[in-house]
Amino acid sequence: MKKPDNNSLVIFGASGDLTHRKLIPALYHLFKNGRLADDFAILGVSRTEYSDAQYREKLSDILAKSENIAAAEMDEFFSHVYYQAIDTSNEADYAKVKVRLQQLEQAHHTGGNTLFYLSTPPSLYPVIPACLAAHGLNHQNHGWKRLVVEKPFGYDLASAISLDSKLHEDFDESQIYRIDHYLGKETVQNILVLRFSNGLFEPLWNRNYIDYVEITGAESLGVEERGGYYDGSGAMRDMFQNHLLQVLAMIAMESPAVINADAMRNEVVKVLQSLHPLSDEDLEKYLVLGQYTGAKVRGEYQNGYREEKGVDPQSRTETYMALKLKIDNWRWSGVPFYIRTGKRLPTRVTEVVIHFKKTPHPVFSTNAPENKLIIRIQPNEGIVMSFGLKNPGSGFEAKEVSMDFHYQDLADKNILDAYERLLLDSLLGDATLFSRSDAVRACWKFVQPILDYKANNPKLYGYASGTWGPQEADFMMESKNRSWRFPCKNLTNTEYCEL
């Protein structure tokens, strides 16, 4: 098992929610399982004034609420955790960070290796790297230096290009790790293994055998406490532009010649650059935007979007979107991809459904079930293959049956979660599951015309909380043989649906 070099991990935004909920628990789990370096330092940096002891106490209280940790184990982990208060927008204050890193290098033998993690508001993404560079903290003449940037990578095409240019003023592309936690999910990565390690699937994975593909990213919750952020973002920026387009790329990409960061990301970029540009006429027919309205769900009233805290009472922000798109290449020509995402839907689920073409001459039944491959990313992670078999009795009536696999059935339950995997990869210098600059630009180049159309044609459909979105999304299928799958939380038993 490869372990990272000794290093310092600097978390900007160390007093924020992401650090508390995701980063520190992920680092603790990596430490507990022996996956971190033999020696390391974690330096939290934020505006809030804490001493090292106060910061350790705060984090230990947070960890103790969700973990059953022995005191000795807790003490050992937190002996590697430190804190430095600075004004992150003041370049001069970064001298304090430089001094602390020099001290930590001596104490923990880091060799100057440093990972900077930007767990901050996006407005600081161009600021912090420039301030680090002003103090020479980007130079790799003494240990490697890497920069992890959280999404969003821009708000539109222009801002994405601007941010990209700013980052590249001080850091080389090989030093920049754009993190999308969806790519850290085991089941997303398994798409590639399923496709490219099985002779059963790959020969069928093309326009000759696949009728259409649907990708669903559904959430049962509303915007909760994120109303202020979400009202300036919407479903398109929050889910579609990054997470779901990345999943689509995994489904549609060609096999890389070798498994490494460059080869894998080259194939992802090719897919994103092959997305068929959508005209206003296309979007009029194949884009559906919705916003959830108040309704009773299982006997309890759920607020409509405009009733949520921090949301404009006249908001036109979409909480649901469905889109039909195509890929202009040899493998996928003519195969439609239907993508939908939304909040306040009946259940939380992310999945991909591959709908195979029906047999050209249905000998046994005119209504024989189609073959489907369902790849469940979350929850109840697994894979289901649906096909037809003879219904018991006289005649040859076909009935749909399924074979399934669940990740929970694996003997080894010690699977890294998304942030654990991505943090470890960034410390190891493996950029395979991180977005590259050209991929980010390709995504925004495809999405920008949709944003422009949405701004000039604000057609928005209401849908009741707890439903599967506006019925207009059903009409875009254009074929009586096509329809959305309505998934349950339970992957396989859909007759009695657990929501």
Pick from 82, 78, 7, 11: nearest CA to 37: 7
Answer yes or no: is 343 a known binding residue: yes
- Pick among 3.60.15.30, 3.30.300.30, 3.40.50.720, 1.10.3720.10: CATH of 7-150: 3.40.50.720
Digit-by-digit pLDDT tens for the chain (499 residues) are 789 999 999 999 999 999 999 999 999 999 999 999 999 999 999 999 999 999 999 998 888 877 777 777 888 999 999 999 999 999 999 999 999 999 999 999 999 999 999 999 999 999 999 999 999 999 999 999 999 999 889 999 999 999 999 999 999 999 999 998 888 888 888 888 888 988 888 899 999 999 999 999 999 999 888 888 898 899 999 999 989 999 999 999 999 988 888 999 999 999 999 999 999 999 999 999 999 999 998 888 999 999 999 999 999 999 999 999 999 999 999 999 999 999 999 999 999 999 999 887 766 666 667 889 999 988 888 898 887 777 777 667 777 777 888 877 775 666 788 899 999 999 999 999 999 999 999 999 999 999 999 999 878 999 999 999 999 999 888 777 888 988 887 766 555 454 4
Answer yes or no: is 238 a known binding residue: yes
Answer yes or no: is 47 a known binding residue: yes
Enter the tokens of residue 172.
Answer: 């080389």
- Pick among 3.40.1710.10, 3.30.360.10, 3.40.250.10, 3.30.710.10: CATH of 183-415+438-476: 3.30.360.10
Answer yes or no: is 185 a known binding residue: yes
Catalytic residue among 80, 108, 135, 243: 243
What does DSSP assign to residue 56? H
- Distance of alpha carbon 75 from the chain centroid: 33
Q: Where exactly does CATH 3.30.360.10 map onto the chain?
A: 183-415+438-476
Answer yes or no: is 219 a known binding residue: yes
Q: Is 243 a catalytic residue?
A: yes
Residue 499 vs residues 103, 271, 278, 298, 490: alpha-carbon distances, Å:
52, 34, 35, 10, 8
pLDDT of residue 499: 42
C-alpha angle 127-138-88 in degrees, rounded to nearest 5: 30
Q: Please say whether the beta carbons of 253 and 424 come within 8 A.
A: no
Query: Is the entire prediction scored with pTM above 0.95?
Result: no
Q: How far apart are CA 54 and CA 210, in angstroms?
A: 58
Answer yes or no: is 151 a known binding residue: yes
Residue 227 vs residues 93, 114, 154, 371: alpha-carbon distances, Å:
33, 35, 19, 41
Q: How far apart are CA 148 and CA 175, in angstroms?
A: 8
Q: Which helix (H) or strand (E) holds 288?
A: strand 287-293
For residue 287, give every residue at least 6 positions away whose Cβ sits within 8 Å of its Cβ, in sequence order, or none: 278, 321, 322, 323, 450, 453, 454
What does DSSP assign to residue 275? B
